[in-house]
């Protein structure tokens, strides 16, 4: 499985009783929000990093806790940055990378381990994604417009290898107009639930209960009626 999501929910969705518990078969194309890394790519769990931020900045920790208790939300700018006016940031302490310190280097520049707009995925991830396509009999793209080239080129690669390709999505995508792709315009959640029920109807006992639990779990939030669903215009 190759995912563009960075929230780690695919791994979280693996039931404890599932026969395949190793999430290593999931390739996160655009990284994960569950780790942060320094400029030398030393990684640390985000919870550990957050706890260290709180330890080094107790006043800011109290400020954040107070906002959480009162339900106060800071103003968010259009670019996603939070604007806290009248605050002095000069005393804010950033954790240094412990792995770098052990190597005699000091680095306190850390970022989430995700690919931001304008950045490129690593050669390792790119090659792994190509290898996964090459190892497959066919490819199925679910719930994506393929707006990012890192995803769209996987479709191109599959077509170059003469592998059957199908896309399941509501609304226009970058694959529209590509004759080699079979496109199903339907809600992916409805189609997948129907497919799972059909494929598992003969299951008994614990496997049956596990599938039923998965089908009944989760939160579904339909998009608003006024959502802009025009065709993506990402550069390729």
Query: Which helix or strand (DSSP H or E) is residue 70 part of?
Result: helix 58-70
Specify whether 30 is catalytic: yes
Confidence at residue 78, expressed as pLDDT on a 0 to 100 scale: 77
Residue 213's pLDDT band (cuts 50, 70, 90): confident
Q: Label residue 17 by pLDDT band (50, 70, 90).
A: low
User: 138: how many CB neighbours lie within 10 A of its CB?
Assistant: 10
- Over the stretch 157-180, which tens digit does the pLDDT of each residue have? 999 999 999 999 999 999 999 999
d(CA 114, CA 35): 9
Q: What is the CATH number of domain 123-216?
A: 3.40.50.1220
pLDDT digit string, tens, across residues 39-91? 999 999 999 999 999 999 998 899 889 888 988 877 788 777 777 777 778 88
- 211 vs 30, which has greater pLDDT? 30
Q: What is the mean pLDDT of the chain?
A: 87
| Local structure of residue 185 (DSSP, 8 states) | -
Q: Quick: pLDDT tens for 129-152.
A: 999 999 999 999 999 999 999 999
Separation of CA 48 from chain center? 20
Predicted pLDDT of residue 231: 46
Bridge pairing between strands 31-38 and 110-114: antiparallel
Average pLDDT over residues 185-191: 90
Q: Is the pLDDT of residue 198 over 60?
A: yes
Of 30, 34, 37, 42, the catalytic one is 30
Contact of 52 with 95, CB cutoff 8 Å = yes
Confidence of residue 222 (pLDDT cuts 50, 70, 90): low
Parse the chain into domains and list their residue ranges.
Answer: 34-114, 123-216
Task: Tell me the average pLDDT across 87-104.
Answer: 90
- Asked whether the CA dihedral 219, 225, 226, 227 is positive or negative, the reply is positive
The pLDDT assigned to 18 comes to: 65
Tokens of 47: 């919870």
């Amino acid at each position: 499985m190759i995912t563009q999501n960075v929230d780690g929910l695919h791994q979280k969705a693996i039931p404890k009783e599932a026969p395949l518990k190793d999430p290593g078969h999931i390739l996160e194309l655009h990284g994960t929000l569950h780790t942060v890394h320094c400029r030398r790519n030393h990684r640390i769990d985000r919870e550990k990093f957050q706890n260290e931020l709180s330890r080094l900045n107790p006043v800011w920790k109290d400020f954040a806790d107070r906002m959480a208790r009162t339900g106060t939300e800071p103003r968010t700018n259009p670019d996603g940055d939070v604007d806290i006016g009248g605050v002095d940031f000069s005393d804010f302490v950033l954790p240094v990378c412990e792995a770098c310190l052990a190597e005699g280097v000091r680095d306190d520049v850390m970022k989430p381990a995700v690919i931001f707009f304008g950045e490129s995925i690593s050669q390792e991830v790119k090659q792994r994604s190509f290898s996964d396509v090459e190892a497959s009999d066919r490819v199925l793209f679910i719930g994506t417009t393929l707006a990012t080239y890192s995803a769209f080129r996987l479709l191109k690669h599959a077509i170059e290898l003469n592998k059957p390709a199908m896309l399941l999505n509501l609304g226009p995508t970058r694959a529209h107009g590509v004759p080699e792709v079979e496109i199903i315009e339907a809600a992916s959640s409805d189609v997948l639930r129907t497919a799972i029920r059909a494929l598992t109807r003969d299951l008994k006992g614990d496997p049956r209960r596990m599938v039923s639990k998965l089908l009944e779990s989760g939160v579904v939030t339909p998009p608003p009626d006024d959502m802009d669903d025009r065709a993506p215009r990402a550069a390729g």
